[in-house]
Every structure is written in C-alpha cells, then in structure tokens.
C-alpha cells in the first residue's frame, strides 16, 4: 500500500475500525472468530487498529489486547476516552481525573505500555476542551500516549485544542452520504498537519447494499434508531444506490472499493477505518487502496450523493445534541 502519515508514522491508509467486533451492530462474533479476523487483517497489511473504552464497555479493548499483543510492534494502535460505560450506561465525561483513570484501564486491557494515538471520543460540553486536552498532553509527557486525537468536533474546537497541544488526528464520520467534514474540518486538519480519519466510510453498510430494511436489523443494533435507516428516509436513500451500482459496474469495482476509493481521493491526509465481521469484506476493503478514480468519476459520485440528496439526519436528536461537528 501507499502509506500515509499519522503523527510522523507511516501507516497504510485503510485501517480497521474494531467497534462492531464487540458492540453496536447486530450480534458480535465469538472471541475466536474476532481474533481470527484481526489476525487476517494483519496478514492483509492492515496496521492501524481503532478501538475505544466505550466499545463493549471495555470488552473491545480486552479483545484487541489479547489478539494483538504479539504483533504490538507492527501495528498502530488507537483508542479513545471521554465516553465510556458507567453502570451499564454510556456517559460523556471529559474531566481530567476521568481521562486519567480511563487511560490506566485502557492500557491494562490493551496489554500495552503506550498508545500510538488517544482520542477525546466526545467533547464534554460541560468541560472546556482546553482542560481535557491539557490532561491528555500530560499523558503524552508521561509516555502513556504518543499523540492526541479528537472525535466529532468542529473546526473551531480543533483550533482551540491545537492551541494547547498539537492535534495529530481528527476522527469523524465521512462517506459519500455523510459530507459534513467538507464544511471545514477536512481543510482545518490539512492546515494544522493532522490526519483525518474517516469512520463509517461505507455508511454503516448502507453504501454496500448490506441493509435491506430497518426491520432486518436485529434488536439492539444502533442503526435502528438512526433517522436515515427509518422511513420515509430509508426508501428515499435506497433510490441512490441504483446509480451507484451502475458506476461500480462500469468501473469493474465492488461498491465497497468504489466508495472507499472516493474517500481516500479527498486528500493525502485522509485515512479510512471501515469495520467488518466478514473476512471477504475485509479483503475487499483493503484492496481499495490502490484504486485510482478519474476526475470525472469523482465528480459524478460527489454529485450523486450531494448533501441535499440524502434524506434524514445521521443521528437522533439526543445524540446529535452531544456532538460538536458542523452540519449541513
């Protein structure tokens, strides 16, 4: 793969988002199956693995700690703090003492002495971002983390945080059907020299036509509560897929390859971390890195999924209120 930079480290730009191995989408696989998939990812050249204290309320970090310990010197390991499970509930807490407590637990679960990248998973709106990042900067000084990242924040918040300590990466949802980073965050990351990490670059399975209806999703799947996966929005959005399939067929690419290649073409500082539980999908995703799309194809895809053509917000109102990103 043609590698890209995160905090001075060269990594393959297609990483692995590990959330759905423990959390959020359908039924998680067995630990054995999840570990096998993580090892397959390494064999395919994946280096960047992304997890969080929130995922499975610690189970995902423990899974990666077990699966990746013997490969620790070969991989780029990222986790997150500031949002975790407390007494069975998801809680956003950006207070310095909480972030310090979380890193100690994360390092233990991940079987490592230091993390390559540590994100503030959500900005706690009751705590100035400067205070949260200030504590993370002390973790850098102490050698517990090598770099600081932010997740789901605005360009303004990125600059405020960067004034306290250099921000190495910003992670936000970005795909053909979620274009909010184009408002300001993509350019801001480029301006300060931060990597931009696109999560859900395949729109939580929508862009690969893996979701046939809301009713087909199992109880507990977070997509069941997302407006775009509910009517009347879902039927309207599905209409966009026929044109996308035609473009994929004309380019002899799979839907996943086409959509991931489009994201990677949005800047040399852009990385993607699609998640999967499926070995074939994993190999398909990884194969997208070397695909070159023409300017005409890129324009055609961008126009097909313009923000005005996508129906529904990406989060329910309660979740939307928690994030800091600019919205169309």
Average pLDDT over residues 235-258: 96
Q: Is the pLDDT of residue 48 over 60?
A: yes
Architecture of the domain made up of 4-207+267-287: Alpha-Beta Barrel (3.20)
Give the residue-averaged pLDDT of 246-251. Answer: 96
Percent of the chain at pLDDT above 70? Answer: 100
pTM across the whole model = 0.97
Q: How many CA atoms lie within 13 Å of 164's alpha carbon, on the beta-carbon side?
A: 20
Has residue 80 got a pLDDT over 70? yes
Mean pLDDT of 188-207: 98
Average pLDDT over residues 108-112: 98
When pLDDT is averaged across residues 131-147 and rounded to a whole number, the result is: 98
Catalogue the active-site residues.
Answer: 55
The 10s digit of each residue's pLDDT in 278-314 is 999 999 999 999 999 999 999 999 999 999 999 999 9
Share of the chain above pLDDT 90, in %: 96
Residue 158: band (very low, low, confident or very high) from pLDDT cuts 50, 70, 90? very high
pLDDT(1) > 60: no
Residues in a beta bridge with 77: 49
pLDDT attached to residue 76: 98
Whether residue 187 is predicted with pLDDT greater than 60 in this model: the reply is: yes
pLDDT of residue 111: 98
Secondary structure (H, E, C), 163-213: CCCCEEEEEEECECCECHHHCCHHHHHHHHCCEEEEECCCHHHCCCCCCCC
Assess whether pLDDT exceeds 90 at residue 23: no
Strand order across the beta sheet in which 117-120 lies: 16-17, 48-50, 76-81, 117-120, 148-151, 167-173, 195-199, 270-272
The residue among 117, 74, 103 whose CA lies nearest residue 273 is 117
pLDDT, position 87: 87
Residue 203 pLDDT > 80 = yes
Average pLDDT over residues 105-126: 98
Work out the number of other CB atoms within 10 angstroms of the CB of residue 219. Answer: 7
User: What residues does each domain of the chain span?
Assistant: 4-207+267-287
Residue among 110, 169, 109, 176 nearest 136 (CA): 169
Tokens (6 digits) for 174: 């970005």
């Amino acid at each position: 793969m043609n590698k890209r930079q995160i905090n001075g480290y060269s990594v393959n730009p297609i990483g692995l988002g590990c959330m759905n191995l423990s959390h959020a989408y359908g039924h998680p696989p067995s630990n054995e199956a999840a570990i096998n998939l993580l090892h397959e990812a390494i064999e395919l050249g994946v280096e960047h693995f992304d997890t969080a204290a929130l995922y499975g309320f610690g189970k995902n970090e423990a899974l990666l700690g077990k699966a990746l310990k013997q490969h620790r010197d070969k991989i780029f390991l990222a986790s997150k703090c500031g949002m975790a499970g407390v007494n069975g509930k998801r809680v956003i807490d950006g207070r310095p003492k909480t972030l310090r407590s979380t890193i100690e637990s994360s390092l233990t679960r991940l079987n490592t002495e230091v993390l390559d990248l540590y994100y503030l998973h959500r900005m706690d709106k009751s705590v100035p971002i400067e205070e949260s990042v200030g504590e993370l900067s002390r973790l850098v000084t102490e050698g517990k983390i090598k770099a600081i990242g932010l997740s789901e924040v605005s360009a303004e918040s990125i600059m405020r945080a960067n004034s306290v300590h250099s921000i190495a990466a910003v992670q936000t949802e970005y795909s053909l059907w979620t274009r909010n980073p184009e408002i300001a965050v993509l350019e801001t990351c480029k301006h300060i020299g931060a990597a931009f990490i696109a999560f859900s670059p395949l729109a939580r399975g929508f862009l690969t036509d893996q979701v046939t209806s809301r009713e087909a999703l199992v109880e507990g799947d977070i997509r069941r509560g997302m407006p775009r996966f509910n009517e009347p929005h879902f039927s309207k959005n599905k209409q966009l897929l026929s044109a996308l399939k035609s473009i994929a067929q004309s380019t002899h690419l799979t839907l996943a390859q086409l959509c991931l290649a489009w994201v990677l073409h949005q800047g040399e500082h852009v990385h993607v971390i699609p998640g999967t539980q499926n070995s074939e999908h994993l190999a398909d995703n990884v194969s997208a890195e070397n695909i070159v799309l023409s300017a005409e194809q890129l324009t055609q895809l961008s126009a097909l999924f313009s923000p005005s053509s996508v129906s529904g917000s990406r989060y329910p109102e309660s979740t939307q209120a928690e994030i800091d990103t600019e919205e169309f």
